Structure 1
Amino acid sequence: MNLSRRFLPPIGALQALEAVDRLGSATAAANELSLTQSAVSRQLQSLEAQLCVDLFVKQGRRLALTSEAKDYAKDIREALNIIGKSSLQMTINPAGGSLDLAILPSFGMRWLVPRLPEFARLHPEVTINLSTRITEFNFNTEPFDAAIHFGKDGWPDTDALHLKDESVIAVCSPSFIAEKPIQSARDLLNLPLMHIQTRPDAWRDWFAAQGQQVEQVSGMLYDQFSTILQAALHGLGIALIPDYLVEQEIAAGRLIHAWGHATPLPGAYYLVWPKNKEHDVALVKFKDWLSTQVDHEDMLPR
């Protein structure tokens, strides 16, 4: 990096700007930063002088950040978060490196996490930090080294490792269907069907796999599989849930097949990472290990 020092202001001044933007006043920023209000004001004045721009405009008797300064403060906030997180990681694990991984909540907890003790045993020098995300995001704006994603492997400027295809089962509680005889897959259209937010076409694809062409399927919408699973257990309707998530409930008799068996649907789970991270040591170790897990379904804890 070869930027002029003019464009690399002191971190104290950047912290003052970020705090004023977030908290709404120099007084509140001074309290948070353990400084006097005058000290915060001097830092902001120094920042304006260094950048050669006005950061504030008068609104009545008070000063407010310009719209450009608010955008700048947002970028500074993200940068400060990255610096703080990196410093924390260096303190926790200065030698082995770390991997910031975004995971899908249900898949991460039921498929990945039970396997991680083996990775920890093989690579104790690597720290893995997990955060949940249920939708796609931009690696340029989120501080992740990689993500576990469902769908296709077509994220821009990324590489991917195929982990697992998905098969779903139409399930419900035994009491829910006890007095509702089902003669065909189409009979399910007369019952409450539960949808998952991340699979908007799942029911339509499932009916097509059963030989039924259905244009629209109405029903209740849920944002996570953990929530829709609990709804099915409590008899709120019929849910399409990945087989790996309901095996235990079916084996225990808490859920039953409403119709059919496990049905493959479009989409798969992938480990995705930015191309500019492909040589990161912690990431290389993790994806090399994870590639040994993709064909070991019999290892999934029951």
Structure 2
Amino acid sequence: MIAPRRFLPSIPSLLALEAVDRLGSATAAGQELSLTHSAVSRQLKVLEGQLGVTLLVREGKGLALTPAGASYARSVRDCLADLAQASLRLRASGPRDSLSLALPPSFGLYWMGPRLHAFLRAHPDLLVNQSTRSAPFDFAREKFDAAVHYGPEDWPGVHYLPLTRERVIPMAAPARLAGGPLTPEALRAEPLLHLDSRPGAWEDWFAHHGIEAGQLRGMLFDQFTTMAEAAAAGFGLALLPDYLAQAEEARGRLARAYPAPLALEDRYALVWPRHSTPKPALRLLIDWLRAEGAAEEGPGAPL
């Protein structure tokens, strides 16, 4: 149940508080909100009177929030951001049902993307909104229906639907491989590119092939796609997931420095919060992934 109206300040007064907190003065807040200085001050006085708490104090020529006001302003900013996002999603989707997904960038583009296209062809009345996220977050604060997670099942409070294991392939610019694919020993002598979210990936690859890698050094990247760009430019060899490696291979930008992919223990999974019932659009996606065989065999998670 929503609180009684007497506890719900008006949107203009909340906008005034948020702007003063961020900009430091009623004058600057008024310029941003297209209000006069006195109009902003009136909004703040109404808000303080409604709440019965002093929110701001004057400091020199500006305004400063009291500790209570600063805490309240943070909550107000979060609420206004949620309201703006909800309005944007509604405006974009119109009468159609929508689904908001958080996806790792490369996986979302090269693996999940084609499957979402097929899903939407099967359900043309739906919209799927996508944002980039590479690490677990709080579903209660970020308004996503589901996300894709890579790694062990260490995201608390979520259901898991396994999707696929990561399979990696050493890739290089074709000019580096004039003599064809390399042996693991020859590959060890090449400059190697590294991803900061996959520490030890090359060491594990060499260990699987019976080689003591030692201390590996090289350029460091935060995304598979930028690492692939560096490999295509000839800076070194990149250990790429097969969905990206195959796409780069088809474009002729990269070639396999070693022919066989290596399947890793960790996998990608679709996750969604346990504390809420999946909306109909999410149920459709989960059922579709299972029916199309996009999800790996396994117990999955209940609906």
TM over 0.5: yes
Q: Distance in 1 between matches of 2:12 and 2:210?
A: 65
Residue 295 and residue 89 in structure 1: after superposition, are their counterparts in 2 closer, same or farther (change >3 A)? closer
Residue 254 and residue 97 in structure 1: after superposition, are their counterparts in 2 closer, same or farther (change >3 A)? closer
How many Å apart are 1:72 and its aligned residue? 2.6
Q: Counterpart of 2:114?
A: 114
- Structure 2 gaps of 5+ residues are 297-303
Q: Distance in 2 between matches of 1:277 and 1:70?
A: 31
Contact 2:170 2:239 in 1 (8 A): yes
Q: Does 1:149 align with 2:149?
A: yes
Q: Counterpart of 1:18?
A: 18
Q: Counterpart of 1:284?
A: 283
Q: Counterpart of 2:61?
A: 61
Q: Distance in 1 between matches of 2:76 and 2:199?
A: 36
SS in 2 for 1:154: coil
Q: Distance in 1 between matches of 2:119 and 2:179?
A: 48
Residue 276 and residue 57 in structure 1: after superposition, are their counterparts in 2 closer, same or farther (change >3 A)? same
Contact 2:170 2:256 in 1 (8 A): yes
How many Å apart are 1:296 and its aligned residue? 8.5
Residue 71 and residue 176 in structure 1: after superposition, are their counterparts in 2 closer, same or farther (change >3 A)? farther
Q: Distance in 1 between matches of 2:67 and 2:177?
A: 57
How many Å apart are 1:47 and its aligned residue? 1.6
Contact 1:164 1:294 in 2 (8 A): no
Q: Counterpart of 1:190?
A: 189
Q: Does 1:241 align with 2:240?
A: yes
Q: Distance in 2 between matches of 1:20 and 1:46?
A: 15
How many Å apart are 1:165 and its aligned residue? 0.7
SS in 2 for 1:261: coil
How many Å apart are 1:92 and its aligned residue? 4.0
Q: Which amino acid in structure 2 is aligned with residue 28 of structure 1?
A: A
CA-based RMSD: 2.6
Contact 1:206 1:265 in 2 (8 A): no
Q: Counterpart of 2:166?
A: 166
How many Å apart are 1:272 and its aligned residue? 1.1
Q: Distance in 2 between matches of 1:215 and 1:70?
A: 51
Q: Distance in 1 between matches of 2:23 and 2:287?
A: 44
How many Å apart are 1:176 and its aligned residue? 2.7
Q: Distance in 2 between matches of 1:181 and 1:93?
A: 48
Residue 181 and residue 250 in structure 1: after superposition, are their counterparts in 2 closer, same or farther (change >3 A)? closer
How many Å apart are 1:109 and its aligned residue? 1.2
Residue 17 and residue 216 in structure 1: after superposition, are their counterparts in 2 closer, same or farther (change >3 A)? farther
Q: Counterpart of 1:43?
A: 43
Q: Which amino acid in structure 1 is aligned with residue 266 of structure 2?
A: G
Q: Distance in 1 between matches of 2:120 and 2:180?
A: 49
SS in 1 for 2:258: strand
Q: Which amino acid in structure 2 is aligned with residue 55 of structure 1?
A: L
Q: Which amino acid in structure 2 is aligned with residue 38 of structure 1?
A: S
How many Å apart are 1:251 and its aligned residue? 4.8
How many Å apart are 1:122 and its aligned residue? 2.5
- Structure 1 gaps of 5+ residues are 298-302
Residues 175-254 of structure 1: pairs in structure 2 closer than 5 A = 175-178=175-178, 184-214=183-213, 216-251=215-250, 253-254=252-253
Q: Distance in 1 between matches of 2:76 and 2:147?
A: 24
Q: What TM-score results when the alignment is normalised by the length of structure 1?
A: 0.87
Q: Deviations over 1:31-62 (max 9, x none)?
A: 22222221111111222222222222333332
Q: What TM-score results when the alignment is normalised by the length of structure 2?
A: 0.86
